[in-house]
């Protein structure tokens, strides 16, 4: 059998049954209390039965006052763990493992959401005509930074108590830790800014805090941009330097992705003129970094063919992250293992406005996740325009629900 279906052992001696990982996607499927909904739990049960070796959850936020979207799940030290336990149990069927992706959005908070809009500096998102959708960020104080570090550690401990096998710290896609890493966003002149070592301090301190709060068999991973794909931003050389600093902390995996809300390279769109391959967008970066570190490397972005998965592993990358492919075909690993030919029709949106294009693609993916969670089949034939309109209506309703919850 191909290397794709060989087991893999992480540095802390835990293992998964194969090299295929369900990568994180924006789900927005919490219940009214920001806990995992029944549909979200069902969705992960389908993925576990579908044959992946490891499932990475979508964003779980560490602070209910700092949300990237109104339908997000929140886990903090005061959360009721019962639904999280059900989530972990569903995701661990069929000898599957599950890690929780934990995150803080920083400045990537919609204005209507309210709450905390923090960032290392007061540099707002540049989304063109849609920039006003997001709040103006406030530079963080030392006390606020320390609070965020403690919240990451608390959420990781709660995840372990709920039965999850590990956590992945989200330091990519323009979220708070990525904002600290970026010289375009981080304009600080204290110990949290300036040199790359200082800009990476938040990430390393978060990892140290988590490690001191969980058991040795609990996996810790980091999702890191290979580059921001913006001129003057976090680049490949920066990524390699950060990987080397993480290597010294003995983490279990680094997932390499790329881009942000401003340059959604994770959807194949850049802001610096570079052209990404149609599949395995970040493979060249992952291949280079994998040769330079002892930390297991996973790459995600545009992988939905078996031949591409085999190529990723053949080039020295340890794990294959699949996102949209599993949204449209939840049992894709099983089909590959049985030798079935699978053609996945990835949503194509060719609108000129890259922001609206990105939102439409996300809306199609999220609608399919809800379909699978409700026991229906995913569909590649959903209208991007109609789906985006539905998503905006749904988001407005969820925002009102969130505002009502926060006003209690």
Residues facing residue 97 across a β-bridge: 54
Long-range CB pairs of 353-361, under 8 A, 24+ apart, other chains included? 353/128, 354/264, 354/269, 355/127, 355/128, 355/130, 356/130, 356/388, 357/267, 357/269, 358/261, 358/264, 358/267, 358/269, 359/388, 359/391, 360/384, 360/385, 360/387, 360/388, 361/267
Query: Looking at the predicted structure, is the pLDDT value of residue 2 above 90?
Result: no
Average pLDDT over residues 37-51: 98
What is d(CA 69, CA 357) in angstroms, rounded to the nearest whole number?
18
- What's CA 389's distance to the chain center, in Å? 24
Candidate from 239-248, 254-263, 339-348, 356-365 with smallest mean pLDDT: 254-263
Tokens of 50: 């579908």
pLDDT digits (tens, 9 = 90+) for 163-218: 999 999 999 988 999 999 998 899 999 999 999 999 999 999 999 999 999 999 99
Domain ranges, ordered by start, for the chain: 3-347
pLDDT of amino acid 399:
95
pLDDT of amino acid 229:
46
Place of tokens 């930390």: 295
Query: Looking at the predicted structure, is the pLDDT value of residue 408 above 90?
Result: no
pLDDT of amino acid 73:
98
CATH superfamily membership of 3-347:
Aldolase class I (3.20.20.70)
**Closest C-alpha to 50, from 15, 9, 24, 22:** 22
pLDDT class of 356 with cuts at 50, 70, 90? confident
What is d(CA 285, CA 266) in angstroms, rounded to the nearest whole number?
13
293 with 241: CB under 8 angstroms? no
Q: How much of the chain, in percent, has pLDDT values that exceed 90?
A: 70
pLDDT of amino acid 278:
43
pLDDT digits (tens, 9 = 90+) for 380-397: 889 999 999 999 999 999
Query: Of residues 378 and 271, which shows the higher confidence score?
Result: 378
Count other Cβ atoms within 10 Å, centred on residue 364: 27
Phi, psi of 62 (to 5 degrees): -90, -5
Tokens of 190: 């204290």
pLDDT of amino acid 259:
53
Helices (H) then strands (E): counts for the chain: 13, 14
pLDDT digits (tens, 9 = 90+) for 256-297: 876 545 444 344 443 433 343 444 556 778 888 899 899 999
44 with 125: CB under 8 angstroms? no
pLDDT of amino acid 392:
94
Contacts of 64 (CB under 8 A, 6+ apart): 34, 74, 76, 115, 406
How would DSSP label each residue in 138-185?
Answer: EEPPHHHHHHHHHHHHHHHHHHHHHT-SEEEEEE-TT-HHHHHH-TTT
pLDDT digits (tens, 9 = 90+) for 63-72: 999 998 899 9
What is d(CA 66, CA 108) in angstroms, rounded to the nearest whole number?
9
**Closest C-alpha to 256, from 285, 220, 291, 292:** 285
Query: Looking at the predicted structure, is the pLDDT value of residue 14 above 90?
Result: yes
């Amino acid at each position: 059998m191909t290397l794709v279906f060989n087991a893999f052992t992480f540095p802390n001696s835990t293992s998964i049954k194969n090299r295929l990982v369900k990568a994180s996607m924006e789900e927005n499927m919490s219940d009214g209390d920001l806990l995992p909904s029944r549909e979200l739990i069902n969705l992960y049960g389908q993925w576990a039965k579908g044959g992946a070796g490891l499932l990475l959850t979508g964003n779980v936020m560490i602070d209910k006052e700092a949300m990237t979207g109104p339908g997000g799940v929140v886990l903090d030290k005061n959360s009721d763990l019962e639904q999280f336990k059900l989530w972990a149990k569903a995701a661990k069927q069929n000898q599957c493992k599950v890690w929780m992706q934990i995150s803080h959005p920083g400045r990537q908070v919609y204005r209507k959401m309210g709450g905390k809009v923090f960032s290392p500096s007061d540099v707002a998102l540049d989304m063109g005509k849609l920039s006003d959708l997001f709040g103006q960020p406030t530079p963080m104080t030392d006390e606020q930074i320390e609070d965020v570090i403690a919240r990451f550690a608390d959420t990781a401990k709660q995840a372990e108590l709920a039965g999850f096998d590990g956590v992945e710290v989200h330091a990519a896609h323009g979220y708070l830790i990525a904002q600290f890493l970026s010289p375009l966003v981080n304009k600080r002149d204290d110990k949290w800014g300036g040199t790359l070592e200082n800009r990476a301090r938040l990430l390393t301190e978060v990892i140290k805090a988590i490690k001191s709060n969980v058991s040795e068999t609990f996996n810790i991973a980091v999702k890191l941009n290979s580059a921001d794909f913006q001129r003057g931003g976090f680049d490949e050389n920066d990524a390699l330097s950060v990987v080397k600093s993480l290597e010294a902390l003995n983490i279990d995996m680094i997932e390499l992705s790329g881009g942000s809300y401003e340059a959604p390279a994770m959807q194949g769109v850049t802001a610096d003129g570079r052209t990404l391959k149609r599949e395995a967008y970040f493979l060249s970066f992952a291949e280079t970094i994998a040769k330079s570190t002892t930390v297991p490397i996973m790459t995600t972005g545009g992988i939905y063919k078996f031949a591409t998965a085999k190529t990723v592993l053949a080039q020295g990358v340890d794990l294959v992250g699949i996102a949209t492919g599993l949204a449209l075909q939840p049992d894709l690993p099983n089909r590959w293992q049985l030798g079935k030919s699978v053609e996945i029709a990835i949503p194509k949106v060719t609108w000129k406005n890259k922001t609206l294009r990105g939102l439409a693609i996300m809306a199609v993916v999220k609608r399919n996740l809800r379909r699978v969670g409700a026991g229906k089949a995913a569909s590649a034939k959903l209208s991007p325009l109609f789906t985006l309109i539905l998503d905006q209506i749904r988001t407005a309703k969820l925002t009102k629900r969130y505002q009502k919850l926060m006003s209690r």
